[in-house]
Structure 1
């Protein structure tokens, strides 16, 4: 599933492929080694076997958890397509370690209060549930129908899958909660956590050289843009396509006086016929400094913000779309 349908999302494809392969491996041919992923309080705090704990958060051994996590990651591939593979990988990396720290804190406190947890589910619950935070905040909500007065949206199925995964046990619910808190913490960028917990450039380049050809998707010439799995995702993609078309349209110079219709598709045919470069669109008015600061607070460099505003003729929404496409 992950290799066929997850196009143009190499990180999602690699994560899904790794989870499926590791789960099948340790459930069938290497089932006798499942004990590698068992741990308790003594394993972590007395024996200091941190590698076993990190390994237990890297593979799903329960087929139900694997199925639910795969469905959620498949829905969340929209974020890799919108923000880029590198930002998406940094989000997974950062929320993975944030959720680990929260889980360790809960295990320590539970032991101090003499409330030992009966068992510890295996799998990367943290980053999977952390993705529910941008999914809730960034994907628009469109009501499809009502059941007993409760609005049902296209996103409801995703939330039900997450609830099914979290409701397996008290420990699973705790892991899911740690993932949600990690997602909120990373999204708010408290203490510049996004700059601290990120994959180094040389490591991402090395991984791309080693695994890039395995997870890359060929782009057909006559490709139809992939649409999201829910109505909200399709609507958001449609809006993005319209904004991108607006950005390209504003890049074209206006036709000269005496030629109101211009020549060519964008009214710049005369300049192309003469072999002249396209003239930049003049900026009509300066954007308030407050709006520029808002865009820089979103994580974009000020120089790139000013450049995108010049290209977008001081249209903030178009400029933000250009910055997201370049990131």
Structure 2
């Protein structure tokens, strides 16, 4: 199992999020010290430190958490490739907002004015992503170590457990807030899974996203909105192709949870274009 092609191909939102997390952690960790990054009752209800809410959504409080967190964020880019960058942005915003509401409730219940009850970092997005990871990503390989059964998903779970227990109670509470947020997204509360940002907002974000290393190999990303809509309609109309789908492209779609035979057929109709094949499969799945 893998997250698809290496790098941040077709995952610009993940790339921007990972970059922001690394920069925030390095800058604020050095400037403020890791002990000052967590959230406390005093921060929210007494001093109204709104800036700390923003920092706590990005900056990890330790190097160990940073490496584990970035690894998981990088792997979960598979979900951006599966549902698209626009919907994945909604997923990040929704999970972050819901998790922050739950964290605020926890702070109000404990009412410890001095202690940083909740650790900082993008726990909301990471542990919200474990919900579709558990439910949608299939096991492709099983093996045993000294008689203990493992699967190719076990390493992701182990990284998640390490991150969840990194700061003990502070990280466990924050992690479970993320899991609840991911579960609510999964349950499609308020129809959130169908929500999208307006096109002008998506275009604005794309201008400030760091350029992908593979942008030169994907000229369709630079087409106009009209051409983009025409290409989507073209994808819906099956077109025979004499090009045999590559094994890498099939593996990418299989890693997203699609059936191998269905992935192969979609790639044939989409002329081996992974993005177009993903659209075909998602439309077929929603019908």
Fold similarity call, TM over 0.5: yes
Q: Who is 2:264 aligned against?
A: 242
User: Please, which of 156, 159, 163 is the counterpart of residue 157 of structure 2?
Assistant: 159
Q: Is the 8 A contact 1:93 1:199 kept in 2?
A: no
- The 1-side partners of 2:131 and 2:18 are apart by 20
Which structure has the higher relative contact order (CA within 8 Å, separation 6+)? 2
Report the equivalent of 2:68: 68
What is the Cα deviation at residue 202 of structure 1? 3.0
The match for 2:131 among 121, 133, 149 is 133
Aligned residue in 1 for 2:242 = none
- Aligned partners of 1:83 and 1:324 also within 8 Å: no
Specify the alignment match of 2:77 in structure 1.
Answer: 77
For residues 96 and 195 of structure 1, what CA distance do their matches in structure 2 show?
A: 17
TM-score, normalised with respect to structure 2: 0.72
- Within 2, Cα distance between the matches of 1:319 and 1:52? 39
Cα distance in structure 2, aligned partners of 1:128 and 1:81: 16
Match of 1:173 in 2: 172
* Structure 1: stretches of 5+ with no match in the other structure: 250-317
Using the alignment, how far apart are the partners of 1:175 and 1:166 within structure 2? 8
Work out the CA distance in 2 between the residues paired with 1:32 and 1:248.
51
Q: Which has the larger radius of gyration?
A: 1
Q: Is the 8 A contact 1:126 1:176 kept in 2?
A: yes
Task: Evaluate the alpha carbon distance shift between residue 48 and residue 195 of structure 1 in structure 2; reply closer, same or farther with a 3 A threshold.
Answer: farther
Distance 1:200 1:48, change over 3 A: farther
For 1:41 and 1:228, the matched residues in 2 are separated by 49
User: What is the RMSD of the two structures over their aligned residues, measured on CA atoms?
Assistant: 3.8
Q: How far apart, CA to CA, are the structure 2 residues paired with 1:5 and 1:215?
A: 8
Correspondence for 1:12:
14
1:4-35 CA-to-partner distances (Å, cap 9, x unmatched) read 8222211111111121222223345xx25778
Q: Give the superposition deviation at 1:229.
A: 9.8
In the alignment, the residues of structure 2 paired with residue 245 and residue 229 of structure 1 have an alpha-carbon distance, to the nearest angstrom, of: 11
Alpha-carbon contact 1:227-1:237 (below 8 Å) kept: no
CA pair 147-117 structure 1, distance change in 2 beyond 3 A: farther
Render the CA deviation track for 1:73-102: whole Å, top value 9, x for unaligned: 121111111221111111111111111111
Query: How far apart, CA to CA, are the structure 1 residues paired with 2:113 and 2:264?
Result: 55
1:110–1:117 contact (8 Å) kept in structure 2 = no
CA-CA distance at 1:216 after TM superposition: 6.6
User: Under a length normalisation based on structure 1, what TM-score does the superposition of the two structures give?
Assistant: 0.64
- Aligned pairs, how many? 249
Give SS of 2:144's match. strand
